[in-house]
Amino acid sequence: MPTTATAASVLFVCVHNAGRSQMAAGFLSHLAGDRIEVRSAGSLPAEQVNPAAVEAMKEVGIDISGQTPKVLTTEAVQASDYVITMGCGDACPIFPGKKYLDWALDDPAGKGVEAVRPIRDEIKTRIQALIAEIDARQES
């Protein structure tokens, strides 16, 4: 009988929750569907998602225009199996039993869509590897 439980939950964290973490959440939701629970947050959330990030994601068929930056909460970290930070430094709380990954990615803030495309593509590559890792853990 198929299970409806998610394989894992992932929280993406960057400072403004407007670019990198939103693109990562968009890719993970798009590529993994509802198999993986996806959250994103920022230590100092911006007013809106970076328009260049929205445009870059639209080019690959993923709409993140309806997302809004959210503040990082302790509860979000506690509820996640994976916590992936993208330049938020010491603002991310650490809890035992979580898998922490730090992805060093350029900040797309203030950059045009041309500069955001390579960041988007690097995020997609990392998301595909993350899904493979989560799937491998589920099978073991």
Angle at 114 between CA 44 and CA 45, to 5 degrees: 10
* 88 catalytically annotated: yes
Active site residue: 15, 25, 52, 92, which one? 92
Active site residue: 88, 119, 130, 131, which one? 88
Per-residue DSSP letter, 38: E
* Cβ–Cβ under 8 Å, residues 26 and 57: yes
* 61 catalytically annotated: no
Active site residue: 7, 8, 13, 14, which one? 14
* 60 catalytically annotated: no
- Give DSSP secondary structure letters for 62-99: ---TT----B--HHHHHT-SEEEESS-GGGS---TTPE
Per DSSP, the three-state class of 116 is helix
Q: Under 8 Å CB-to-CB from 125, ≥6 apart: which residues?
A: none
Burial of residue 90, with CB atoms counted within 10 A of its CB: 0-12 exposed, 13-18 middle, 19 or more buried: exposed
Active site residues: 14, 88, 92
